[in-house]
Homo-oligomer: A and B are copies of this chain.
């Protein structure tokens, strides 16, 4: 450590909002200076908490939809949130088919019912009867359906960032789904992603051309209640995995209990569930 680094003068100067801090690896930086840098772009604690509350209390809603109409102003905001998703090569490959017609919902429900019966046959014994008891969609009960699609040819054959990972355009549309889902949670709207469709039946019900890939059919509406946990977790289908077991360091499979991160992860996973419980209690 050289004297100029010890005084921290260089760092203090650099920590001025808007001017980048250039430090070499191993250079000294104290906590206060780190804090100053973080504060430039971080949201307020309250605003940050709102983001985490949306993330931790978001649920896949199937059976709690109310017929309360969704105002156009609200529907517009969640669609705009979807449109501001990241997209590979700025393709914006998505479209949004907003479904309000009862006849179209009926066709979609028929398509679901067929696929659902096929799906049940794929499970064995006890899993099959549990599967058949699960409520997996709210197509008819939700006032709004939104089909989010991907037009893989939107900006021509060669797309920046899709040259090697060919599925990046599909992933962009998925990011739009997740943006919409979180915005909807903040608006008090439930969203349920129905994926039990034969693709061609979903395309037929909405007149989607074969060259367009349907990514998600989302049931959207106000709800009587949100559950504190995913329904499949509550039903004992599968447990929430401990996050610290999912995190590796530098190479696949490399755990490191000595890393301070591990303790943080354990605490944060417990906190996440408390946040979800709290969001539920506040709205009752």
Contact = CB atoms under 8 A, between A and B. Distances in A.
Interface of A: 17-25, 27, 29, 34, 37-43, 46-56, 58, 60, 64, 66-69, 71-77, 79-81, 83-86, 88-92, 94-102, 104, 115, 118-119, 122-123, 127, 131, 134, 136, 155, 158, 160-165, 167-168, 170-171, 174-175, 177-179, 181-183, 185-189, 193, 195-199, 206-209, 212, 215-216, 222-226, 230, 232-233, 237-238, 240-241, 243, 246-253, 259-261, 264-265, 267-269, 271-272, 283-284
A98 B196 contact: no
A23 B269 CA distance: 39
Contact of A95 (B54, B75, B91, B248): B248
A41 B61 CA distance: 13
A21 B88 contact: no
Contacts of A119: 160, 163-164
Nearest to A151: B246
Contacts of A17: 283-284
Nearest to A208: B252
A55 B86 contact: no
B81 A246 contact: no
A163 B115 contact: yes
A51 B50 contact: yes
A250 B100 contact: yes
Contacts of A86: 58, 60, 178, 181, 193
Given A18-B284, A72-B260, A76-B268, 8 more contacts: A20-B64, A41-B226, A76-B261, A77-B264, A94-B246, A98-B249, A174-B175, A206-B250
Contact of A67 (B25, B38, B83, B134): B25
Contacts of A53: 43, 47
A223 B54 CA distance: 25
Given A164-B197, A195-B164, A51 B186 contact: yes
A222 B37 contact: yes
A160 B134 contact: yes
A225 B264 CA distance: 28
Contacts of A250: 97-101, 104, 206
Contact of A19 (B80, B91, B224, B269): B224
